[in-house]
Chain A
C-alpha cells in the first residue's frame, strides 16, 4: 500500500539555524506514529515543516503526501489537501471568536459530526469566547484539537497534546485521538516530550526517538516506551541501539 506521507532526507532550518537533520519517515493510512525526544530535539519543527509553516525553511529533502510532492506548497494548500496541525501553544487572537473560525472550517471541510466533537472535547462553552484568549491549559489543548478534528484531516499532526493539561483533559484528548484513528481512519503523527498520554493510547503503530534534529531510533512502542520511561532519552537510545546490534 502506498504511504500517505513520505519524508525523504529532510533538513529544515529556522532562520539560519538547522533544527531538523536528514529525517526519513513514512506514515501509512490509519497509522499513529509517536515522536519522542528531549526539549529542543526538533520535534515541533519537523511537524511545522510538514505543515509548511512560513517560519520553516527546507534546506534539503522532500515531503510527499498522497503521492504529490508538497515540499514547496504553502501551508494553506497543504491544509486543504488534508493535513492539519494542532499547535503546541496556539496564539490568543483577540476579537476573533472561536466559533467564527470553527464555522469557517466546518463550511470548508464539510464536517458533519462537529457537534459530537464539540461535546467530546467539552468546548461548547468556549465557542463564544475570543480564540484562546484567557483559556486554561486544558481548554486551549481541547479547543485546538477540536479545530484540528473538524478539518476532517487525513493526516493530523499533534504537537504535545499532553503538555500542561490536567488528568481529566488528558483522558478526553486520548479518547478523541483514538476516535480519529478508529472512526475517521486518519493518520497521526503525535509529538510528546513527557509521554504522559502514551499509556492511554492503544493504537500506536510506531515510536521514534528524536535527538538533536535526527530520528535516532524507530521501533514498536512496547519495546521503546518502558525503557524511555526508566532511563530517559539519551541512555535509552544507547541501550536500544546496543540491543539491535
Chain B
C-alpha cells in the first residue's frame, strides 16, 4: 500500500476507539521530537538505570537497543551481535537503509487499527528496534532491548520489527519501564515479528510501569511453515491501564506457546490477552496465563484460539488468584473452529489460596507469610519451552519480586 494512502487512513483513524480497554485521550500528552543518538554510552541520568533495573537488566552494556522517551541508543551491542550476522538498529535507520524493513513495516499491524496505532504511525517517527537474524544462524546470546519513559506527561512511541530468517533461532528480551514515581505518561508500542521457515523466536517481555501510565502495545506475529514462536510476558507493577491482545498467525506445521503472568495492583486496569490463528493444518497453539489481583486491580485475562484449518490443535489455560476483597479477575477464553477436524480446548479457574496448602506448609515450619510466598511463587511458575537459562534466571528474579509485592 502506498505511503500516502496509509497516512490518509491513519488520519481517519485518529479518533477510532480500541475494541478493549479504557479509552484514552491522547491529546492530553506532549509529543517529543524523535531522535537517534547512536551510542548507548551517551545515556545520562540515574532515572534510566533505575528504570531498567526494574525489568531485570542490571547493566546497559548488555542492551542491544535502548529507547529513552523519544531518543534511541543502540550501538553498544552492535559488534557482539554482528559476529552472528545479526543487525540491530532503530527502525528509522533500517527504513532508510534496508528494503526489507520497508517491506515489513506496517504490513502486520495496520495504522488504522485504532487511534493508538494511528498516532504511532503519524507521530512516532519510527523509533523502536529493527532486528534481522539471517538464515541458518542460532544466536546464542539473548538480544536485549529496553524501552524507558522518564519524562512526565509524554507519549513514548515505539515500533519494533523483528525478522528471523529461515532455519534460524533468536531470543529477544524487551523490558519496558518507568522509574518509580512517574505520575503521568503513555506508552504506545507497535511490534511486528516475522518468522521464516523452520525458525524459532522466543520473545520475553517484562513490564514495570507506575500508577499514572497508560500502555497500549499492538503486536502481531506471522510464522512461516514449521516455525515456532514462544512468548513470555510478565507485568508486575501498578499501571493506570494496559491493554494488549497480541495475535499470532500460524502457517503449516508452525506452533506457538504464549504465556502471560499478570500481577495486578493498585487501581490499575489490566486488559491482556493472547490470540492465535491456526491458518493451516498441523499447527498448534498453547496459551497459558496466571493472574494475581491485589488491591482494587481489575484484570481481564483474554485468550483466543481460532482454527481455520483441520488437523490443528489448541489449548488455553487461564488461572487466577484473587488476593483482595475488592479486586476483580475476569477470565475470557475463546475457542473457535471454522473447520471440522480441529481439536481445541480450554480450562479457566479463579480461586483463592487454598487453606489446606497453607496449613500443610506451616506444619513444615514455614510461617504463614513464607507459606503464602511459596504458593504464590509456585502459582506463577510457568515453564515456557525454549527460554534460555539466563533469561529464565532473570524472569525468576522478577517473579521473586512479584511474590514480595503480592504478600505485602
Report whether chain A binds chain B: yes
In the complex the two chains form, is A55's CB within 8 Å of B374's CB? no
Residues 75-102 of chain A: 1 if any B CB is under 8 Å from the residue's CB, otherwise 0?
1100110001101001101111100110
CB distance from A111 to the nearest CB of B (A): 12
In the complex the two chains form, is B367's CB within 8 Å of A95's CB? no
In the complex the two chains form, is A91's CB within 8 Å of B365's CB? no
CB distance from B403 to the nearest CB of A (A): 12
Contacts of B378 in A (CB 8 A): 93-97, 100, 130
Looking at the complex, which one of A75, A95, A108 makes contact with B379 (CB distance below 8 Å)?
A95
Tell me if B347 counts as interface (CB < 8 A to partner A).
no
User: Which of B366, B379, B380 has the most chain A CB atoms inside 10 A of its CB?
Assistant: B366
Within residues 367 to 385 of chain B, which ones have a CB less than 8 A from any CB in chain A?
367-368, 374-375, 377-381
A80 to B357, CA, bound (A): 19
Q: Which residue of B lies closest to A87 (CB)?
A: B360
A87 to B364, CA, bound (A): 10
A95 to B357, CA, bound (A): 12
Tell me if A105 counts as interface (CB < 8 A to partner B).
yes
Contacts of A54 in B (CB 8 A): 359, 362
In the complex the two chains form, is A93's CB within 8 Å of B363's CB? no
Q: Which residue of A lies closest to B383 (CB)?
A: A95
Tell me if B33 counts as interface (CB < 8 A to partner A).
no
Residues 341-359 of chain B: 1 if any A CB is under 8 Å from the residue's CB, otherwise 0?
0000000000000111101
Tell me whether A91 and B357 are in contact in the complex, defined as CB-CB below 8 angstroms, given that A76-B366, A76-B367, A151-B365 are known contacts. Answer: yes
CB distance from A186 to the nearest CB of B (A): 16
A97 to B374, CA, bound (A): 10
A116 to B29, CA, bound (A): 65
In the complex the two chains form, is B379's CB within 8 Å of A94's CB? yes
Tell me if A120 counts as interface (CB < 8 A to partner B).
no
Tell me if A53 counts as interface (CB < 8 A to partner B).
yes
Contacts of A101 in B (CB 8 A): 361, 364, 374
Contacts of B354 in A (CB 8 A): 91
Contacts of A91 in B (CB 8 A): 354, 356-357, 360
A90 to B375, CA, bound (A): 14
A76 to B371, CA, bound (A): 10
Number of A-B residue pairs having CB atoms within 8 Å of each other in the complex: 65
Contacts of A104 in B (CB 8 A): 366
CB distance from A87 to the nearest CB of B (A): 6
Q: Which residue of B lies closest to A86 (CB)?
A: B363
Tell me if A147 counts as interface (CB < 8 A to partner B).
yes
Looking at the complex, which one of A95, A105, A130 makes contact with B364 (CB distance below 8 Å)?
A105
Tell me if A225 counts as interface (CB < 8 A to partner B).
no
A147 to B381, CA, bound (A): 22
Q: Which residue of B lies closest to A52 (CB)?
A: B363
Within residues 48 to 80 of chain A, which ones have a CB less than 8 A from any CB in chain B?
51, 53-55, 74-76, 79-80
Looking at the complex, which one of B359, B374, B380 makes contact with A53 (CB distance below 8 Å)?
B359
CB distance from A74 to the nearest CB of B (A): 7
Tell me whether A93 and B375 are in contact in the complex, defined as CB-CB below 8 angstroms, given that A53-B359, A54-B359, A55-B359 are known contacts. Answer: yes
Contacts of B375 in A (CB 8 A): 93, 96
CB distance from B358 to the nearest CB of A (A): 8
Q: Which residue of B lies closest to A108 (CB)?
A: B365
CB distance from A84 to the nearest CB of B (A): 8
Contacts of B362 in A (CB 8 A): 53-54, 74-76, 79
A105 to B365, CA, bound (A): 8
User: Which of B365, B374, B375, B381 has the most chain A CB atoms inside 10 A of its CB?
Assistant: B365
Residues 105-135 of chain A: 1 if any B CB is under 8 Å from the residue's CB, otherwise 0?
1001000000000000000000000100000
A53 to B362, CA, bound (A): 8
CB distance from A62 to the nearest CB of B (A): 20
Tell me whether A79 and B365 are in contact in the complex, defined as CB-CB below 8 angstroms, given that A94-B379, A96-B375 are known contacts. Answer: yes
In the complex the two chains form, is B381's CB within 8 Å of A87's CB? no
Contacts of B367 in A (CB 8 A): 74, 76
In the complex the two chains form, is B374's CB within 8 Å of A85's CB? no
Contacts of A100 in B (CB 8 A): 374, 378
CB distance from B271 to the nearest CB of A (A): 24
In the complex the two chains form, is A53's CB within 8 Å of B364's CB? no
Looking at the complex, which one of A51, A96, A97, A130 makes contact with B363 (CB distance below 8 Å)?
A51
CB distance from B397 to the nearest CB of A (A): 15
A209 to B320, CA, bound (A): 45
Contacts of A105 in B (CB 8 A): 364-365
Contacts of A85 in B (CB 8 A): 363
Looking at the complex, which one of A51, A79, A90, A96 makes contact with B374 (CB distance below 8 Å)?
A96
Residues 141-164 of chain A: 1 if any B CB is under 8 Å from the residue's CB, otherwise 0?
000000100010000000000000
CB distance from B348 to the nearest CB of A (A): 15
Q: Which residue of B lies closest to A105 (CB)?
A: B364
A31 to B380, CA, bound (A): 43
Contacts of A151 in B (CB 8 A): 364-365
A147 to B366, CA, bound (A): 13
In the complex the two chains form, is B366's CB within 8 Å of A90's CB? no
CB distance from A203 to the nearest CB of B (A): 25
Contacts of B360 in A (CB 8 A): 87, 90-91, 93
Q: Using CB atoms and an 8 Å cutoff, list the residues of chain B in contact with chain A.
A: 354-357, 359-368, 374-375, 377-381
Q: What would be 29 A-B contacts, judged by CB atoms less than 8 Å apart?
A: A51-B363, A54-B359, A55-B355, A55-B359, A74-B367, A76-B362, A76-B367, A79-B364, A79-B365, A87-B360, A87-B363, A90-B360, A91-B354, A91-B360, A93-B357, A93-B360, A93-B361, A93-B374, A93-B378, A95-B377, A95-B379, A96-B375, A96-B381, A101-B361, A101-B364, A101-B374, A105-B365, A108-B365, A151-B365
Q: Closest 5 A-B residue pairs measured CB to CB?
A: A95-B378, A79-B365, A96-B378, A95-B381, A91-B356
